[in-house]
């Protein structure tokens, strides 16, 4: 998988080259949707087994599992064996990391999460090594915009984000909202895929929200916990942004990607590199993050999409959730926008749209679900999903 900030614009030859690369991505996405769809599409049907459940709603598929790592893995593997095999067929097309680096990353998976994956693989009849390797493919080109609470307008803090990854044709349709209630830890919901027990985007029972965004400006990797598993550790062990930041910094993370944190009261972007741990907080009531470098002095996202989101924020002082959904239509990456979502930490609410190779998630119809009952121990079968329609489009930054 080659990570790129695919549409960041320059001038002259660089602009021309990146425009050609953007077109290639879009063509590749359409080819992937056509070719991969018939043999690698995940298909879901309502099902319940002891300890796990899957429900299908218009616009959203939800699952749940509870208990020890082994019990969660065993039940989830039995529930999701078929869709996981389909997804692995598609992800198997990507170049593999070097064996030394992969072994280092596997060793960095926390023991309880590795045990959960092993139980999943055994229950689903899938090779455990292959499943673990698939869980370590973290290279998402994303963008996010958060707005602090506006008490005078009765609006809580909200965070919207695009999740851009190839092949969107497969990953969009395989999207699951999974509620996990690990014994002795905080319950959480993850927006992910079958067989994926790390976290790219999620929220826990206390409203703490996490989103991973690729930091393509960072150099180097190191021994440590893969960042998507550190994100899960944060959800399982913290209740606030400050607690999460402390947990994130407690031991090495294996990469320098960004982790966006939010709760009902605040937000931050944190990351580790060879110089240490870094944290940027909101500026002027807003926090933008994408995949480029962040200015060390202003603590702002300084790449093209970051500047675009900051410019939008400057015009959206009275922004509601519909405005934030529209902001995502300005910053998605064409051809690979598999998911778009919005979290409301104070309400434990998720708004979600899924895309395909042809249709970006950000401009597709969105759906809303209140996750609070399920995060408090209720069943996902009782959750109601509400259609929100497609957003009003903002001008795309690459136009």
We report the CATH number of the domain holding residue 143 as 3.60.60.10
CA–CA gap between residue 36 and residue 18 (Å, rounded): 25
Count of other CB atoms within 10 angstroms of residue 1: 14
Task: Identify the domain containing residue 21 by its residue range.
Answer: 12-67+139-389
Could you give the 3-state DSSP secondary structure of residue 249? helix
Domain assignment present for residue 88? The answer is no
Confidence of residue 142 (pLDDT cuts 50, 70, 90): confident
Residue 59 lies in a domain: yes
How would residue 7 be classed by pLDDT, with cut points 50, 70 and 90?
very low
Q: Pick 18 or 332 by higher pLDDT.
A: 332
Q: Within a domain: residue 124?
A: no
What does the pLDDT look like over 347-383, one tens digit per residue?
999 999 999 878 999 999 999 999 999 999 999 999 9
**Residue 191 lies inside a defined structural domain of this protein:** yes
H-helix segments, the chain: 12-40, 69-91, 99-108, 111-124, 128-134, 168-173, 227-237, 241-249, 304-315, 321-328, 372-375
In a domain, residue 105? The reply is no
How many domains are contained in the chain? 1
Average pLDDT over residues 109-128: 97
188 in a structural domain: yes
**pLDDT range class, residue 5, cuts 50, 70, 90:** very low
Residue 196's pLDDT is what?
96
Q: Which residue has the higher pLDDT, 206 or 86?
A: 206
Comparing 90-104, 111-125, 134-148, the range with the smallest average pLDDT is 90-104
SS3 5: coil
Is 102 part of a structural domain of the chain? no
Q: Is 125 contained in some domain?
A: no
Phi-psi region of 65 (alpha: psi -120 to 50; beta: other; left: phi over 0): beta
How is 195-244 classified by DSSP, letter by letter?
Answer: T--S-SEEEETT--EEEEE--TT-----SSB-HHHHHHHHHHH-SSHHHH
Least confident of 37-41, 57-61, 371-375: 37-41
pLDDT in tens, 246-303: 999 999 999 999 999 999 999 999 999 988 999 999 999 999 999 988 998 899 998 8
């Amino acid at each position: 998988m080659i990570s790129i900030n695919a549409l960041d614009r320059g001038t002259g030859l660089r602009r021309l080259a990146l425009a050609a690369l953007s077109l290639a991505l879009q063509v590749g996405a359409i080819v992937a949707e056509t070719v991969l769809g018939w043999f690698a599409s995940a298909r879901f049907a309502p099902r319940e087994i002891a300890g796990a459940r899957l429900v299908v709603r218009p616009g959203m598929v939800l699952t749940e599992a509870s208990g020890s790592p082994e019990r969660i893995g065993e039940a989830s593997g039995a529930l999701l064996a078929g869709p996981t095999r389909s997804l692995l067929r598609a992800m198997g097309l990507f170049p593999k990391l070097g064996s030394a680096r992969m072994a280092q990353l596997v060793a960095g998976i926390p023991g309880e999460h590795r045990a959960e994956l092993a139980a999943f693989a055994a229950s689903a009849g899938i090779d455990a090594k292959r499943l673990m390797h698939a869980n370590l493919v973290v290279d998402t080109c994303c963008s996010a915009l958060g707005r602090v609470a506006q008490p005078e307008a009765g609006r809580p803090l909200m965070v919207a984000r695009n999740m851009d990854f190839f092949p969107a044709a497969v990953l969009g349709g395989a999207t699951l909202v999974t509620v996990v209630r690990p014994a002795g830890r905080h319950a959480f919901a993850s927006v992910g895929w079958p067989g994926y027990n790390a976290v790219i985007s999620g929220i826990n029972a206390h409203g703490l929200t996490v989103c991973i965004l690729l930091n393509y400006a960072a150099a180097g990797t190191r021994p440590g916990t893969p960042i998507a598993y550190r994100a899960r550790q944060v959800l399982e062990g913290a209740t606030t942004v400050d607690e999460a930041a402390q947990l994130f910094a407690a031991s090495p993370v294996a990469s320098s990607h960004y982790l966006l944190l939010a709760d009902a009261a605040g937000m931050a972007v944190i990351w580790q590199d060879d110089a240490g741990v870094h944290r940027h907080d909101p500026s002027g009531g807003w926090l933008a993050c994408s995949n480029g470098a962040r200015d060390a002095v202003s603590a702002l996202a300084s790449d093209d999409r970051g500047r675009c989101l900051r410019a939008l924020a400057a015009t959206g002082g009275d922004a509601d959730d519909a405005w934030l959904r529209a902001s995502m239509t300005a910053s998605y990456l064409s051809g690979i926008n598999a998911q778009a979502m919005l979290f409301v930490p104070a309400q434990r609410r998720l708004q979600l749209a899924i895309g395909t190779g042809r249709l970006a998630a950000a401009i597709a119809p969105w759906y809303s679900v209140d996750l609070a009952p399920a995060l408090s121990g209720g069943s996902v079968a009782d959750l109601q999903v509400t259609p929100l329609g497609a957003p009003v489009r903002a001008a795309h930054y690459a136009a």
